[in-house]
Amino acid sequence: MYCGGKEGVGGRQVDPALYTRAYYLENVQGHEEWRRHQGRELPLRLAEPLRRARVRPGHRVLDVGTGRGEIALRCALLDADAVGIDYADPALEVAREALQAYPAEVRRRCRFVAMDAKRLEFPDETFDRIFMLDVVEHLYPEELELAFIEAKRVLKADGVLVIHTEPNRNYVDLALPLYSSRWLHWIAGPIVFKLTGSRVPFSTFRDAMHINEQSPQSLRAALRDAGLKAHVWTTGLYGWAELRHPKSILKRMLLTGWPVTRIWPLSKTFGLNVWALAGR
């Protein structure tokens, strides 16, 4: 998911050496689905933003921080012309290897390119859809500012920028300390894992890659500062469980804190996932 370039603005950047082949094939969410389908079927982390993007045949699509390339591959299967960019060589290797197993018409509509999100090598107003999924938390504020400005530049007047980031910074600062308490971790952890397949958040968000985690407020402000108009919202106390059980009210209440995750202002704190649809 790294797209910061060889030199971060002012010298700050996440070490690109962290983004290894093993990281994409063994750690990034959705790696189980990738091993089975190599992008032909998407995990919820990617299927939901793709659904909201409403990609149509003939659309030109840019996937920033493409990682394994699932979004670009899927858009090409939908008869869109897709470009996935990343500055992590292992990501591009994995994506290009997968592309070779796709039909010739998909290979013609999809390509993967090494590129810096802060210096996009495309003309103005090129793309109908731009995806930035699980990218913004990997970019320092000054990098993110430039990445959003560049996204606006290459986005068509009626285009849509689709963003997902987690964890919600409000959740980390206000709710995570409760879940990090050892007694609750011991008691709730096995129950939550059995019901949802997800561990209770403990210390998984504090790693070297997440150097700019966003709240709904900070993400909205960053997009506004770049001249983009955005609808920003949150979902899910336990990550993707809210999407995994959309029709079960009881499960949604027990596993995701629903309807708390839908009620303002509590949703600002307890919605783990932050989303945005933005345009010019």
Domain residue limits, the chain: 9-170+202-279
Angle between helices 141-154 and 216-225 (to 10 degrees): 60
Q: How confident is the model at residue 227, as a pLDDT?
A: 98
Closest CA to 39 of 24, 53, 54, 52: 24
Q: What's the pLDDT band for 270 if we cut at 50, 70, 90?
A: confident
Q: How confident is the model at residue 202, as a pLDDT?
A: 41
162, 51 in Cβ contact below 8 A? no
Which of left, alpha, beta for 11 (phi over 0: left; psi -120 to 50: alpha)?
left
Cα dihedral across residues 123, 61, 93, 145: positive or negative: positive
Separation CA 49–CA 44 (nearest Å): 9
Report the predicted TM-score, pTM, of the whole model to 2 decimal places: 0.85
Give 187-231 pLDDT, tens digit per residue. 555 555 555 555 544 444 456 899 999 999 999 999 999 999 999
Cα dihedral across residues 183, 187, 193, 195: positive or negative: negative
Percentage of the chain surpassing pLDDT 70?
75
Which of 13-27, 85-99, 186-200 bottoms out in mean pLDDT, i.e. has the lowest? 186-200
Separation CA 39–CA 84 (nearest Å): 13
Q: How confident is the model at residue 236, as a pLDDT?
A: 78
Q: What does the block give as tokens for 182?
A: 């050892």
Tell me which CATH code domain 9-170+202-279 carries. Answer: 3.40.50.150
